[in-house]
Amino acid sequence: MSLDQPKTVDEEAIIRMAERVETAQRYAVPIRKLTEDYPDLTIADAYRVQTALRRNLEKKGERVIGWKAGLTSKPKMAQMGVSTPGVGFLTDAMERPANSKITVSDMIHPRVEAEIAFVTNKELSGKVTREDVLAATDYVQPALEVIDSRFTGFKFDLESVLADNSSSARYVPGGRMIRPDALDLRTVGVVLEHNGEIAQIGAGAEVLGHPAEAIAMLVGVLDDMGEVLPAGSFVMAGAITAAVAVKPGDSITARFYEMGSITVTFT
Ligand code: OOG
């Protein structure tokens, strides 16, 4: 994806949009899609809004610990009606431990996804390949992501969702930490259970053919934004299956082949 598109809005509008998204996140109140008020918004503009949001949260003390790729599997693209992947940032404030109770009242309409996460031990920058990503990976491990679009009805277009930090809300690392060459990540199966019933089934190959491809895509988007992926980053490759909506009282368990499982409950 190239971000050398025209900027259609000035810096003031970018800051206004970032504040709108941040307020919706903070108070769990949905807003209309940004493109309803800024119909010419480009992908490049959307990432400018995401960057402004990241800077605002950093000023308030949140620490960026990694990134996520999103909309990287066909089941997710079909569920959301968007056909291009994107990226979002993750901060320490979004992390929750495995086996914890996650509060729902501070989110609008949370949904849960099962993902494979990469932890890097070398900086990745520029245009990189799947092999470069695997060579810079210390270990891989399962993760759950809780997404929460700030847009009414969980309906958006690519520009709006990228500006909304790709719906990032909470993430839960868990399961086993495994060397990336110890498993074929394409054939890692996952069973996502919702209140003890099987809700979704998938395998790593759903994610752009191989989850490491999603990380390579992400590093390319960071490069377009003038950023690198530092060593020690926690990076999620994107949902393997469609996302599952949750409400207070629900439990979710994701079971990964050879990589262990993660359970969380919602309250
Ligand atoms: C956008 C974010 C999707 C993933 O892993 O595919 C995402 C959304 O569906 O709200 O995080």
Whether 23 maps to a domain, the answer reads yes
Whether 78 maps to a domain, the answer reads yes
190-226 pLDDT, tens digit each: 999 999 999 999 999 999 999 999 999 999 999 999 9
- Tell the residue number behind the tokens 């899609």, with chain if given: 33
- Tell the residue number behind the tokens 């996140």, with chain if given: 25
pLDDT band, very low/low/confident/very high, at 2 (cuts 50, 70, 90):
low
Q: Whose CA is nearest to atom 8 of ligand 1?
A: 167
The complex's ipTM? 0.98
Mutational test site, ligand 1, from 90, 166, 172, 213, max ligand atoms within 8 Å of CB: 166
215 C-alpha to ligand 1 centroid (Å)? 14
Whether 2 maps to a domain, the answer reads no
What tokens appear for 44 in the block? Answer: 């490049």
Between the CA of residue 3 and those of 7, 57, 173, 222, 226, what are the distances in Å?
A: 10, 23, 30, 10, 10
The whole domain housing 221 covers 11-266
What tokens appear for 143 in the block? Answer: 């993760």
Which residues does a 6 A CB cutoff place in the pocket of ligand 1?
68, 70-72, 76, 80, 113, 145, 147, 149, 161, 166-167, 238-239
What tokens appear for 19 in the block? Answer: 């504040």
CATH number at residue 110: 3.90.850.10
Give every CB contact of residue 131 below 8 A, 6+ residues apart in sequence. none
Atom of ligand 1 nearest to the CA of 85: 6
Q: What is the pLDDT of residue 241?
A: 97
* Counted domains in the chain: 1
Q: Is the pLDDT of residue 27 over 70?
A: yes
Q: What is the pLDDT of residue 172?
A: 98
Whether 1 maps to a domain, the answer reads no
Whether 6 maps to a domain, the answer reads no
Q: What is the pLDDT of residue 8?
A: 82
- Tell the residue number behind the tokens 């490491």, with chain if given: 212
243 C-alpha to ligand 1 centroid (Å)? 8
51-63 pLDDT, tens digit each: 999 999 999 999 9
Whether 4 maps to a domain, the answer reads no
How far is the C-alpha of 80 from the C-alpha of 243, rounded, in Å?
10
Whether 222 maps to a domain, the answer reads yes
Whether 255 maps to a domain, the answer reads yes
Q: Whose CA is nearest to atom 9 of ligand 1?
A: 80
119-157 pLDDT, tens digit each: 999 999 999 999 999 999 999 999 999 999 999 999 999
The sign of the dihedral angle between the CA atoms of 160, 165, 166, 167 is negative
Between the CA of residue 138 and those of 6, 69, 135, 181, 183, what are the distances in Å?
A: 38, 18, 8, 10, 14
